[in-house]
Structure 1
Amino acid sequence: MSVGEAVEAEPKRRAPRARFGSLVAVILLLLFGVPWATLVWSGNAWPAPVLAAGTVVFVLAAGAFPVLMFRGHGGHSDAASRVADTMLGVIWVLFTWSIIGQAFGLVLALAGVADPVRSRVVTAVVLLISLALLLWGYAEAMRVSRVRRVDVVLPRLGPGLDGLRVVLITDTHYGPIDRSRWSRAVVDVINSLEPDIVAHTGDIADGQVEQRLSQSSPLGDVRARYARVYVTGNHEYYSGALGWVEHMTSLGWDALHNRHLVVTRGGDSLIVAGVDDRTAAGSGLPGHHADHVAALAGTDPELPILLLAHQPQQITGAVAHGVDLQLSGHTHGGQIWPFHYLVRTDQPVLQGLSRHSERTQLYTSRGTGFWGPPFRIFAPSEITLLTLRSPAP
C-alpha cells in the first residue's frame, strides 16, 4: 500500500470506530440518564446536596460501567465482570421501571397530584419495585433450576422408543461467579430423572476451560442410559471452542460437531444429530459451521431425527432436512423482562414447544444458568425433561 492509499484508508477505519463510540455514548446516556431524570432530577425538588450527590453517583456509574465491562469481558477479569454485570442488571431494571414510572406520573398529574409530591411518589414506587424485582431476580438466578416436564409426540417414533426420556440443559454459562456447588446440584437433579439421553445445547461457559474447570467438572458425573450429547453455542466461540469440545469429550460426552449417532431400543432407532452454532462460520476455526448435510450423512431417511442446535433460528435448516424435533436454548426466555421483546426480534421463538412444519417441532429452553447480570426476572431457568411419545395405535 502506498503512503497516499494509507492516508485515504485511515479515515475509513476511523469511521466505524466513531459510529460505535457514538452508539455506546447514546446507550449509556439513555440507560443512566432516564433513571437519573426520574429519581434525582424531574420534579422531586430535592435539597441541593441530595441533587448533587445523586448526580455524582449516576455520572460515576456511567463512566465506570464501560471501563469495567471492557476489563471484565475483554480483559478476562472476573472481579470486574462481576461488578459490570451486576451494574448492567441493576441499571436495566431501573431504566425499565423509570419509564413505567414516568407514565404513572402522568396518571397522577391527570388526577391533580402536583409536584414535588407526584415525582417523589414516582421515585418511591420505582425504587421499591426495582429493589423487590432485583432481590427476587437474584434468588431466581442463583437457585437450582426447576424441572420442566414436556411430552412430545413424534409421529415417526417407533413404539420401542415410546417414553424415551431426554433431559435438556443449556446455557449453563459458568462464569465469573463461582457456581461449582450449583453445578453439582444441577447434575444431581439430572441424575434423579434417570434419563435415557442427556443433551447440552451449548454456551457451557464464559471463559477458557482452565478458568471454569471446577464449575464444569461435575458434568462428567452426569448419567444417561444411552447417550450424553453436546453442541457448541455462540459463547464457545468467544471462549476457546476447540478447548470446550475437547473438554466435553474428556468428560465422556459425545460432541456432535456436525455429526450424529443412533440410539436403539426395543427394535426401533432414533437418529441423534448435532450442528455447530450459526455463528461458528465466522469464528475462523476450520470446519466449524452449521452443516446439516454432514450431520445427517449416511442416515436412514425413514428414521426419526432428534437434532441439537443452539439457536432457535436454526430451525429453518432443520425443516429443510426433515428433522422431527430440534432442541435449542440461547434465548434464556428473555432473562430480564422486558428484554423478552428484543429477543423476539432475532429469534422465531422465545421458549417452549412450537411447530414449524408438518414434521418438524422445536423445543426452546429458557436456559439452565444465566448470562452476565445475576438476575432472572419473569424468565425462570429450567432443566427440561422431554418424554418422547410414539403416536397412539
Structure 2
Amino acid sequence: MTDTSDTRPTDSEAQAERRSTLHRLMRYLPLIAPVLLWAVPCWVLLYAGQQWPLPVTLAGTGVFVLGLIGMPLAMARGHGRRQQDGAAIVGDSLLGASWVLFTWSVLLGVLLRLALTVAGVGEGQDRARIVTWAVLGVTVALLGWGYAEARRVPRVRSLDVQLPRLGPGLDGLRVALITDTHYGPLDRARWSARVCETVNALEADLVCHTGDIADGTAERRRTQATPLATVRATLARVYVTGNHEYYSEAQGWVDLMDELGWEPLRNRHLLLERGGDTLVVAGVDDVTAESSGLAGHGAHLDGALNGADPDLPVLLLAHQPKFIDQAAAGGVDLQLSGHTHGGQIWPFHHLVRLDQPALAGLSRHGLRTLLYTSRGTGFWGPPFRVFAPSEITLLVLRAPQRPSST
C-alpha cells in the first residue's frame, strides 16, 4: 500500500520557514553588521588600487578603526542601562553615516569603476582615486541633505480616501495623521511645537497618533511631548501605542497622552457622529505589547470592536502595517499605521519590506480593507532621512457618490 499523502509544504509553512531563517540570521546581525559597515568602505576607499601615500593610508585606516570601535560603544552607553543622550547622539550619527558610506562604497565602487573602464577614463591608480572622491562627495552630500530632511517640519501629504460604507453625512471628514515622532536624545521641543502648529492649520475633525511617540520614558521626554496638548480637533484626538513605548514603560506614555488630552484607544473604540451618520474609530495596542509582559497590554481587535454595530464603517489605528491581515479578516474599512518610516535611509527600504506588507502610502488588502502607511513624522536613531521624506498626513474621507434622483 503506497502513501499518497501530499508532503509538500503549504504556502503558510514555506513562509514560516523563510521567516524562521530570517530570524536566525538576524541574531548574528549585531556582530557582523558593524564590521561590514566599516571594513567595506575602508577597503574601497583606501586599498582598492589608490596607492595613497603611507601617512594617508594609516590615518584613513585609523579613522575607520575608531568608527568600528566607537560606534557600538557609544550605542551601548546611549541606549543601554546608562541611557546617556550624548553617547546616543554620537552612536546614532555614526550608524547613519556608516550605512550611507557603506551603501555608496558598494554601488560606486562597482558601477562607477565599471563605467569609467568602459569610457576609457583613467587607469589603475587614477581610476581608483576618482571612485574614492566620488564616494566621499556623494556621502557628504546625502548626509547633509538627509540631516536637513530629518530635522525639518514634515510636508503635509493630502489625499482623498473613498470608503464605500461611509455615510453621506461624514463625507469630507478630515483626518490628520502623525506617527513615529520619536522624541529622543536630540531635544526637539521646538520642532514638536511647530509640528503641532502645522497640524492645527489643517483644521482636522479627527487627529490620530499611531505610536512610537518617543525613545525614552514619558518622564524623561515629557518636555518634547508636551506640545501635543496644543493639538486641536473638532471631534477627537486619539492615540495607540507603538513598539517603542514597550521599550520605555508604555503605561507611562498612555497616562501622559491621556493627561495631554488625547484619548488612548487601547483595544477599544469610540463613535464619531456627523450629519446623522456614524464612524467607528477603533485602536489596538502594538503587536509587540503581549510579549512585553506588561499586564493588560496586547493587540485584540475583537475587544476593540466589541459592541460596535457591524454595519458601520470602521477606521482602525494600529501601529504596524502587519496588523492588516487581522483588520481585513475583521471587516475594517481603513487601517492607519506608521512604523516603517518609509525605510528612512535608502536602501533600508528593502529590509523593511521583508517584515511588513507595505512601506508607505495607500494599499488595498482583501475585498474592502484599505491600509494607509505613513512614512512617519520624526526619525528613529540616525538623524538622517535619505529618499524617505517625513510626512504629516491629511486624509479626507469620501462617501460613495449616490445617483441623483430625477
CA shift, 1:135, in A, is 0.5
Partner of 1:156: 165
User: Secondary structure at the residue paired with 1:211?
Assistant: helix
- Please, which of 191, 195, 198 is the counterpart of residue 182 of structure 1? 191
CA shift, 1:22, in A, is 5.9
Q: 1-side partners of 2:115 and 2:360: how far apart?
A: 34
Counterparts of 1:182-331 in structure 2, within 5 Å, are 182-331=191-340
Q: 1-side partners of 2:77 and 2:358: how far apart?
A: 33
Q: 2-side partners of 1:24 and 1:387: how far apart?
A: 42
- Please, which of 107, 122, 128 is the counterpart of residue 115 of structure 2? 107
CA shift, 1:107, in A, is 3.0
CA shift, 1:87, in A, is 0.4
RMSD: 1.2
Partner of 1:4: none
Task: Identify unmatched segments of 5+ residues in structure 2.
Answer: 1-24
CA shift, 1:111, in A, is 4.0
Against the structure 1 CA distance between its residues 391 and 23, is the aligned structure 2 distance closer, same or farther, given a 3 Å change threshold?
closer
Identical aligned pairs, as a percentage? 62
Q: 1-side partners of 2:71 and 2:387: how far apart?
A: 25
CA shift, 1:109, in A, is 3.1
Q: Is 1:94–2:101 an aligned residue pair?
A: yes
In the alignment of these two chains, the number of paired residues is 375
Q: 2-side partners of 1:21 and 1:378: how far apart?
A: 28
Q: 2-side partners of 1:26 and 1:215: how far apart?
A: 35
Q: 2-side partners of 1:29 and 1:190: how far apart?
A: 42
Q: 2-side partners of 1:142 and 1:22: how far apart?
A: 32
Q: 2-side partners of 1:57 and 1:107: how far apart?
A: 29
For residues 123-155 of structure 1, the C-alpha deviation after alignment (integer angstroms, 9 at most, x for no partner) is: 011111111111111000000010000100000
Q: Given the two structures, how large is their TM-score scaled by the length of structure 1?
A: 0.94
- Please, which of 135, 146, 165 is the counterpart of residue 144 of structure 2? 135
- Please, which of 338, 353, 367 is the counterpart of residue 344 of structure 1? 353
Partner of 1:35: 41
Q: Given the two structures, how large is their TM-score scaled by the length of structure 2?
A: 0.91
- Which of 118-127 and 99-108 deviates more? 99-108
Which residue identity lines up with residue 65 of structure 1 in the other structure? M
- Please, which of 394, 397, 400 is the counterpart of residue 385 of structure 1? 394
Task: Identify unmatched segments of 5+ residues in structure 1.
Answer: 1-18
CA shift, 1:287, in A, is 1.8
CA shift, 1:98, in A, is 0.1
Q: 2-side partners of 1:29 and 1:200: how far apart?
A: 37
Partner of 1:353: 362
Partner of 1:12: none
Q: 2-side partners of 1:21 and 1:164: how far apart?
A: 45
Q: 2-side partners of 1:213 and 1:287: how far apart?
A: 24
Which residue identity lines up with residue 349 of structure 2 in the other structure? H
CA shift, 1:182, in A, is 0.4
Q: 2-side partners of 1:193 and 1:26: how far apart?
A: 46
CA shift, 1:293, in A, is 0.4
Against the structure 1 CA distance between its residues 376 and 20, is the aligned structure 2 distance closer, same or farther, given a 3 Å change threshold?
closer
CA shift, 1:110, in A, is 4.2
